Structure 1
Amino acid sequence: MTAIGSTTLVLAGTGKTGRRVVAGLEARDVPVRVGSRRADPPFDWEDESTWEPALRGVDAAYAAYYPDAAFPGAARDVGAFAEVAVRCGVRHLVLLADRGSAEAERCEQAVRDSGAEWTVVRVGFITQNFSEAFLADLVRAGTIALPAGDVAEPFTDAEDIADVAVAALTEGGHAGQVHEITGPRLLTFADAVGELSEATGREIRYFPVTREQFLSSLIGRGVSAEYATRLADLMVEVFDGRRAHVTDTVERVLGRPPRDFAEYARDTAATGVWGRPPLSPPAKPDVFGKPEHRSTVPT
């Protein structure tokens, strides 16, 4: 638990979960330092010289690794960061980790070995990936193609993740705990995309593809080959059924049920982030999940 009046560093503080953690801490009048490349002082996971200045005077830290705690090399960086944090006087580390990923498990162990008090917030597929990350453009295009087959996933809302992290940073009883967070029910990606269609009033379709097709699609959309390969490998690793169960963590920690995917879809559609319904249905995708060109001018 963060001491009254002490500063908490929130890494990836402008990202999906980080900015919500910042807002939650500020709502509790906790002094916050946002960890990002554009902050003052800046923080960059790829530049160790930025770590110590960002950690000076900090009592606790929310450690969200960029680009992902499941990517190769994450455990090495997280372990090194934890060592610097302890040396700078940080007492409590709250780590954002991926459910079912071998590399994320190594990140968890590195934090446990650091000597600081620790809490792990373990999550799966974050619901806001459909609106705040790489899937948003695909939702707008009307076609989502992923190497996830028909595996069920308990889509986890970023609001729930942030609220649990804020509780761990500001309340007692969370040190040494692994908080594995899920949504309230299992959905396949086809189920989830169907609910997006209903919420938006548009036809949005899901197509399961192979790892190779997904990789080609990402690179074709301008994603670097290195990042695309890591993302494709991660999806193949975790979407094998290992995460197809729900937990009661949100209700146990926060005293309320987790946010349901349908509520997210409805509320997000109302913001207009996915655009207005198209004038014609989306085109049939090619094998890489990219729609063929079709005019949207009505006939």
Structure 2
Amino acid sequence: MTTTHTGGVRLPSYRTLAALALATPEEHVRELTDWVEHSSVVRGGAAEQAGWESAYKWLRLAQGLRTVTFDMSYDDGGICAVGDDFDAVWSEMMEEWQLHLVRLGYVRAALEGFVRVLYQDGSQPATAIERAEHQLSNRSDVWPLHAREVAEHLTAHARDRADGTAVSVASGVAQAMAVHRQAMHGLAGVPEPIHDAEAKNRAAGHEESCAAREASTAVMLGIQLLLAAALAEGRVAVLDEDKYLFDGRWIPDRAGGSRWVDEEMPYSEYLAVLHLEPGEPPEL
């Protein structure tokens, strides 16, 4: 698991690339929501259409999420500057951690909604994505860049993982759902600031926040694969022809490099790259 130190926080290397970097979850979900808004399930009855709309609304909730506010102060009537500092740092930690966990819950709900619409045989999300992976295994043009790297990074957070276990997008989604389940069932430890020898507070909780952040990204990449497979089978259709890239995008090419696109591209092609940072345009 390759990471980069930024401001004391370890970020996965795929988030710090000069080009083709993976976007933040808040930008990722905004673009994914836009894609779903411009597509629809094909030949679905009233129940399928309602299910598609419900899954879309869960994405809209995730897209609309901005902040989660905490005040971890405990007013016991005393005066303690060190305690006040501790509470302030703890509040900031909780806000970041819970922001990622809340978003994870929303995108998980969206994923499960899409699975119910597209796989009416009772398939579980990880199983449905595994089927989509198998179907698209030879389609590099629709495969989301960094998808397996995200799964590998997220799996590295799991202390009980089996060595040698094959890493896939489906396994990353399964691990993401485990992260969410542990938190919702009270099995995740609640991080708190660390006191050092000088009675100053140092922030902690970076691992917990990182796991929750990458978990929501893993689920969204799983949704993209699920939709790509459904699009290839004709079970999902794109309603609009082109997506105009206002900020431009670096797009992976077949030679392993990248090309700059700052005009229009088909929505069907955009599904594979919507999770990437726009990046800086090439120098003229």
TM above 0.5, yes or no, is no
TM-score, normalised on structure 1?
0.25
| Greater fraction helix | 2
